[in-house]
Amino acid sequence: MVGSAMTDLVSRVPRLPGAGETLIGSSFSIGFGGKGSNQAVMAARLGAKVSVVVKLGKDVFGENYLKNYQEQGIDTSYVLFDETRFSGVAPIAVDDNTGQNSIVIVPGANDGLSPADIRASRSAIDNADIIICQLETPIESTVEAFRIAKEGGGTKGGAMTIFNPAPARELPEELLQLTDVFVPNEVEAAMLLEKSTTTVEEAMVVALDFLERGPKRVIITLGSRGAVFASQGEPAQFVPAQKVKAVDTTGAGDAFVGSLAYFLGNSFPLKTAVERAGAIATRSVLKPGTQTSFPYRDEVKELLLP
């Protein structure tokens, strides 16, 4: 994984506050987050061999995050430290009643992960079968990682690239063309193409539109509804999600992407990978927190069988 690390500062509130409103929360906790690191942890918990290329601040948040990677069994050979920036943080408000969340990210050291850093970490990419990137680090660094991945990563002459365009922003065409699996959520997809994804049918149309811009496969996650997916030359399909009462939806999208990487890395068919990644993401919303809600391999072993 090439991407972000954030320390989550989580407040549980009776409802998400409006503009200018002050609410009294019911609890506060500090946890490990950042979309890239979340995805890496999820894949590692399922049994994948994971390395991360990230940049932390030289502060207590950075020191604790390094220990977290090590405790999760993740290779930290390419964890870098920024000399001037603080570690990334993410203040999160979680609605006690619905489990829905509102998140602000302050990237800090993540903004310092440069293309030069990516090139210096080339051996991590060259030895990978799958590279996951997001947009919580500079977009030029993501492009550089995918360029390297396509030059020589993986055991079969080029690593599979999975791109989660979050938070959404204008994307260079080269990045889309370097992407094998493009995984936005419904909000990000709608923002990027300025088209509605309110219905499953609309999301299918948007998925096909993205295919025309370069990615080989597109998966749009639809929250509690499930996901739609499409591949070049094939019709879009819909996979519904199991209906549950969510406790906390924070990190569910990352649980999906990390699980998807595990399944695709183990040669599961795309539909099966989407179904099972969705099932694992659903498990994650039944517990509070981000990485703390992600299941371990033994908890979902029935989903890992061919």
So which residues are the catalytic ones?
254
Which of 241, 296, 239 lies closest to 269 in space, CA to CA?
239
CA distances from 283 to 194, 210, 270 (A): 31, 29, 20
Which of 165, 221, 174 lies closest to 193 in space, CA to CA?
165
For residue 28, list its beta bridge partners.
11
Residues contacting 284, CB < 8 A, separation 6+: 251, 252, 255, 293, 294, 295
Helix, strand, or coil (residue 40) = helix
By the 10 Å C-beta count (0-12 exposed, 13-18 middle, 19+ buried), 292 is classed as middle
| DSSP-assigned states of every residue in 108-121 | GGGGG--HHHHHHT
Which of 270, 279, 297 lies closest to 48 in space, CA to CA?
297
Which of 64, 95, 91 lies closest to 79 in space, CA to CA?
64
Helix, strand, or coil (residue 79) = strand
Report which DSSP code applies to 100.
-
By the 10 Å C-beta count (0-12 exposed, 13-18 middle, 19+ buried), 187 is classed as middle
